[in-house]
């Protein structure tokens, strides 16, 4: 076996990206590293309970998830997610709730107002009369039944642009 000699090598921490490192000497507990491939990696810490990784347009930071300038909170969504609304005439206002009920006492044609893109609502319809849905509704599956049955109509708004509204529907019964 040939003689080998070892030479002392000094490693400076942190090791920069151009030397194969991250540019970070250590990572705090529960942090994450974010980098662009050529510059130093940035350590991001959770900082506050409920924060998520968000972009400010040039970098990632720990922050509160928001849409535009509005933060998303349970308090803002809760009423919309759980409100059950009785349809008094024939209009279903998408902004008022997520479950709408109606007992038909005559043949009825529903209208929709305040469509909301990507929102799902459910209609719970009873009564032994015919029901017509707006022209914006595309029936994906199911059939509306007359008689002593409850029809559940699940609706998903796929286009809320005025004049071009589109809603997908699935009808089931109990």
Instruction: Quote the tokens at residue 13.
Output: 């921490």
Beta strand pairing call for 99-103 and 120-126: parallel
Two tokens, residue 144:
């509306």
Distance between CA atoms of residues 63 and 61, nearest Å: 6
Structure tokens at 57: 């347009």
CATH of domain 80-173: 2.60.120
Please report, in tens digits, the pLDDT of each residue of the chain (174 residues total). 566 665 665 655 666 666 666 666 666 666 776 765 566 666 677 666 666 777 777 777 767 666 665 676 766 666 666 678 999 999 999 999 999 999 999 999 999 999 999 999 999 999 999 999 999 999 999 999 988 899 999 999 999 999 999 999 999 998
Does a cis peptide bond (omega within 30 degrees of 0) precede residue 19?
Answer: no
Domain boundaries, the chain: 17-71, 80-173
């Amino acid at each position: 076996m040939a003689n080998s000699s070892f030479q002392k090598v000094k490693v400076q921490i942190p090791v920069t990206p151009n030397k194969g490192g991250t540019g970070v000497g250590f990572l705090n507990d529960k942090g994450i590293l974010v980098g662009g491939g050529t510059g130093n990696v940035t350590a991001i810490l959770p900082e506050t309970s409920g924060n998520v990784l968000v972009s400010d347009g040039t970098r990632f930071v720990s922050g509160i998830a928001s849409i535009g300038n509005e933060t998303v909170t349970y308090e803002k969504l809760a009423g919309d997610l759980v409100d059950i609304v009785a349809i008094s005439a024939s209009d279903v206002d998408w902004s008022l709730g997520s479950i709408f009920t109606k007992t038909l006492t005559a043949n009825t044609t529903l209208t929709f107002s305040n469509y909301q893109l990507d929102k799902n609502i459910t209609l719970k319809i009873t009564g032994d009369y015919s029901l017509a849905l707006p022209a914006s509704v595309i029936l994906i599956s199911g059939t509306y039944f007359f008689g002593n049955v409850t029809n559940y109509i699940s609706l998903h708004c796929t286009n809320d642009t005025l004049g071009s509204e589109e809603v997908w529907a699935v009808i089931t019964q109990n």
